[in-house]
Amino acid sequence: MISLAATLRLALQALVRNRSRSLLTMLGVVIGVAAVIVTVAIGTGAKTSVANQINGLGSNLVIVIPGSVQTSGARTGNGGASTLTVQDGLAIAKLPGVSAVSPSVNVRAQLVTGGQNWQTTVTGVAPTYTTVRSWDVSSGRFFSQPETDEAAKVAVLGQTVVHQLFPDGSDPIGRTVLVRGVPFTVIGLLSAKGQSGAGQDQDDTALIPYTSALERLTGGTTISTLMVSAVDGDHIESVQSQITGLLEQRHGIVGGKADDFQVRNLQDIAQAASATASILGLLLAAVAAVSLLVGGIGIMNIMLVSVTERTREIGLRVALGARSAAILRQFLIEAVVLSTGGGAIGVVFGIAGAAAIAVFAHWPSSVSVSAVLLALAFSAAVGVFFGYWPARKAARLDPISALRFE
């Protein structure tokens, strides 16, 4: 009886004898597997980066934004109303289940130092902001409650602003920055945060006490956003409904009147985002699986042609003493070698492709070992599945007519 190793050698010899055809046959699987690897890498990468960004925003976060308002028939979009006040924030902070609240007052402003200037979003916040956003300073310090109470002219700069205003690399702490002409002292620098899910540079910001922003920059009392941190994940829903009740009461919204604010839960946003990423990944994977299937059909097609073409050879092998099981095994191994070889080449191309997409398209991608193993196992299975029929056909050939075959 012929050993498996010897059969493998016979199969490899047969494939090498038809080198170019073997390579072309592999092509379908190469493309299929490369597509699987790339799409899974992109899908996984997108999901992890969404998750990272959501976590980066601070866990257990509830965001309150002004709703739309209707002025003489024309409705503004969400955030168009200027209805949220500092007092709303203070009231929310007293709700059970709330651990911290920080208002945000956003102001587009030109920042000027000695020789440089830079336009950025100056955000007035409370000291609790570091907790709420889980975002700390990398050097210096954040402003304190007393500084907030007295509307101190102090600022904490994001990394992008630091680079723009202090390109020579000198230490910004203790320096003075003019914000709309008002001098602020830099007391701290924020740690780098990178891009947001929407592709915004989160480090392009400067934080000042919200009191300073209201008194010295906007001159009003309304705020852009309230960021509320629940004590833990289980309290998010109750905090949301309490905020809604409280604000409706404070804003005098009764009956069927529309709220002039919106309460959003970051977890929901996160889930929606990752669900979108999953569906995208699933779609891509389906496309990839179809191309792998087409590759498998290609293998079956070529193997069938090969069996017909090699009819005489098969007859000869039978005459020389090959059992039909040995013929079956050889052709099956040929198909599996083609598909798995194609799979291995596809993995190499897939990893290279994922890396290229990460570099050139700035799209996060991560190739997982399990995706590689799965792709290889799947391509081997494709070989067995699509190789079996041609192999059985070869094994069942009548040796005499096979030998007579022209």
Q: How far is the CB of 323 from other proteins (least distance, A)?
A: 4
**Sign of the torsion angle spanned by Cα atoms 314, 318, 320, 323:** positive
Residue of 10, 63, 398 whose CA lies nearest to 240:
63
Nearer Cβ to other proteins, position 79 or 399? 399
Q: How far is the CB of 320 from other proteins (least distance, A)?
A: 4
The answer to whether 240 and 263 are in contact (CB under 8 A) is yes
Q: How far is the CB of 392 from other proteins (least distance, A)?
A: 15
The answer to whether 393 and 307 are in contact (CB under 8 A) is yes
Nearer Cβ to other proteins, position 2 or 280? 2
Instruction: To the nearest 10°, report the CA torsion of 299, 301, 305, 310.
Output: 40
Contacts with other proteins, residue ranges (CB under 8 A): 1-3, 6, 9-10, 13, 17, 312-313, 315-326, 399-400, 403
Strands 182-190 and 154-157: parallel
Nearer Cβ to other proteins, position 137 or 403? 403
Nearer Cβ to other proteins, position 19 or 362? 19
In the three-class reduction of DSSP (H, G, I as helix; E, B as strand; rest coil), residue 150 is classed as coil
Residue with tokens 């009461």: 249
Q: How far is the CB of 37 from other proteins (least distance, A)?
A: 34
Nearer Cβ to other proteins, position 47 or 310? 310
Distance between CA atoms of residues 307 and 316, nearest Å: 13
Distance between CA atoms of residues 271 and 282, nearest Å: 16
Q: Which residues contact 68 (CB under 8 A, 6 or more apart)?
A: 75, 76, 77, 78, 79, 80, 81
Q: How far is the CB of 321 from other proteins (least distance, A)?
A: 2
Nearer Cβ to other proteins, position 234 or 398? 398
Amino acid letter for position 22: S
Q: What angle do CA 309, 315, 317 make, to 5 degrees?
A: 105
Q: How far is the CB of 16 from other proteins (least distance, A)?
A: 8
Nearer Cβ to other proteins, position 239 or 333? 333
Nearer Cβ to other proteins, position 376 or 403? 403
Residue of 120, 125, 192 whose CA lies nearest to 154:
125
